[in-house]
Structure 1
Amino acid sequence: MIRDIGRGIGGMKSLPVTVVMAMALGGCVPAGAPSIPFFGAYFPSWLLCAVIGILGALLVRVVLVRLGIDDVIPARLAVYVCVAAGIGFLVSIVSFGR
């Protein structure tokens, strides 16, 4: 069945089908993920963004505890996870444009 993909009418090779399939594979070229050199190794950028997001959420929590707002937040875990994700996404967009 796979051998019949490039065959046209009458069992002859179909050049347009082959060209379209080759062009479709052009999107599979590895463009490379953004990475950060750290102590001689390359780490993915999302890892740095996640750490910055977690540290930012901890900072936001400290500020909210000092203001007395932390006690009235419903579903604190979900709120702080969303804050960490938001900060991580913002850092990713600003730093790497992705």
Structure 2
Amino acid sequence: MPQDGAAFAICDVINKKFSLTRQMIDFTLVVLGAIASFWLLGSLVGIREGTLIRVVLIGVFVEMFVKFYRRFRNPKTKEEYIAYKQVKNQSK
């Protein structure tokens, strides 16, 4: 998702936790959606409790998944990945 890529990039630049960065991006998008809804439709449409719950929880869940994934993947760095591929190709 574009929001995840933007959150990872911003997270690296400002050195904040991913979940906080993702929540800030999601909150900004919800506010922009609410403004657009009032401006174009005259009332708040499409933003309810599920949207607000998602804003709070999705960053936390994605951060947990990323930590879990990084813990169990094989190569940890680019150099380790290159070495892993070389060993794998030599064994064939």
Decide: shared fold, TM above 0.5. Answer: no
TM-score band w.r.t. shorter chain: 0.3 to 0.5
Q: Which has the higher helix share?
A: 2
Q: Which has the higher strand share?
A: 1
**Rg comparison, structure with higher value:** 1
TM-score (norm 1): 0.37
